[in-house]
Amino acid sequence: MPCQNAAQLAHFLKPVGMFKRVRVETVLAYADDKCAYFCHSFFLGEQRHAEVWVKMKFKKASLTVRPADVIGPLAWTKPPHIDAWEHAIAASMAAASLAGQ
């Protein structure tokens, strides 16, 4: 099923050298009726060097498909840092909209 990234947030804890081999661990952190939130952790050896959070939608043609219809039933509480990220995305979009006027 095609996916569409709605937002991404990268956080580097330590430098990752160019062409370094990394191990990536991916976790589905949360999903609501529209989006799924994944955390990709990048490791060099046993040390985590970066996290990339991705907010994405499952798509069928132009329609958004509920994550629960793809993944199965979900009964999670939204982590507080995802709410903070959502507020930052909304503020960024509002600022971009004002700048474009």
Domain boundaries, the chain: 3-76
In one-letter notation, the amino acid at residue 31 is A
pLDDT of residue 101: 62
Q: Which residues contact 3 (CB under 8 A, 6 or more apart)?
A: 56, 57, 58, 59
pLDDT in tens, the chain (101 residues): 677 878 888 999 999 999 999 999 999 999 999 999 999 999 999 999 999 999 999 999 989 999 999 988 877 788 888 988 888 888 888 888 887 76
Q: What is the CATH number of domain 3-76?
A: 3.10.129.10
Q: 10 Å Cβ neighbour count for 31?
A: 21
DSSP 61: T
End-to-end CA distance of the chain: 37
